[in-house]
């Protein structure tokens, strides 16, 4: 399963972090309403270990407070240099509701 975010094909979206891999990459937190519809980018981030970062993220309460009926995560696995560029590009493109630093 994959989803296109920006110009990138991410694995997911997954409703459970058990389907994530402990690898370097970019993650996208996605939300949508109870009746389905399009996914909305809630947050974008990068990490050397996507699975661990999403599971223990300090912004998780913000994600849950955005009012979406369903939250999911998608991942793009890549090296450190690539993940930083992709994260910055997608943050500028989507201006996610969560993720103010």
Q: Where are the domains of the chain?
A: 2-94
Q: What is the pTM of this model?
A: 0.94
Helix, strand, coil % (nearest 5) of the chain? 30, 40, 30
Indicate the pLDDT class of residue 22, thresholds 50, 70 and 90: very high
Angle at 23 between CA 19 and CA 28, to 5 degrees: 60
CA–CA dist 80, 70 (Å, integer): 29
Please determine, for residue 99, whether its predicted confidence score (pLDDT) is greater than 80: no
Sheet of strand 2-5, all strands in order from the earlier edge strand to the far edge: 2-5, 8-14, 70-77, 25-33, 36-47
Q: What is the topology classification, in CATH, of domain 2-94?
A: GIY-YIG endonuclease (3.40.1440)
Please determine, for residue 40, whether its predicted confidence score (pLDDT) is greater than 90: yes
8 Å CB contact between 62 and 18:
no
């Amino acid at each position: 399963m994959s989803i296109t975010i920006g110009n990138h094909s991410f694995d997911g979206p997954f409703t459970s972090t058990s389907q994530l891999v402990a690898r370097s990459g970019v993650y996208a937190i996605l939300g949508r309403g109870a009746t389905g519809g399009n996914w909305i980018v809630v947050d974008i981030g990068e990490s050397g270990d996507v699975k661990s970062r999403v599971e223990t993220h300090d912004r998780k309460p913000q994600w849950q407070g955005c009012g979406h009926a369903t939250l999911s995560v998608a991942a793009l696995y890549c090296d450190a240099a690539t993940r930083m560029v992709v994260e910055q590009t997608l943050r500028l493109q989507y201006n996610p509701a969560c993720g103010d630093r």
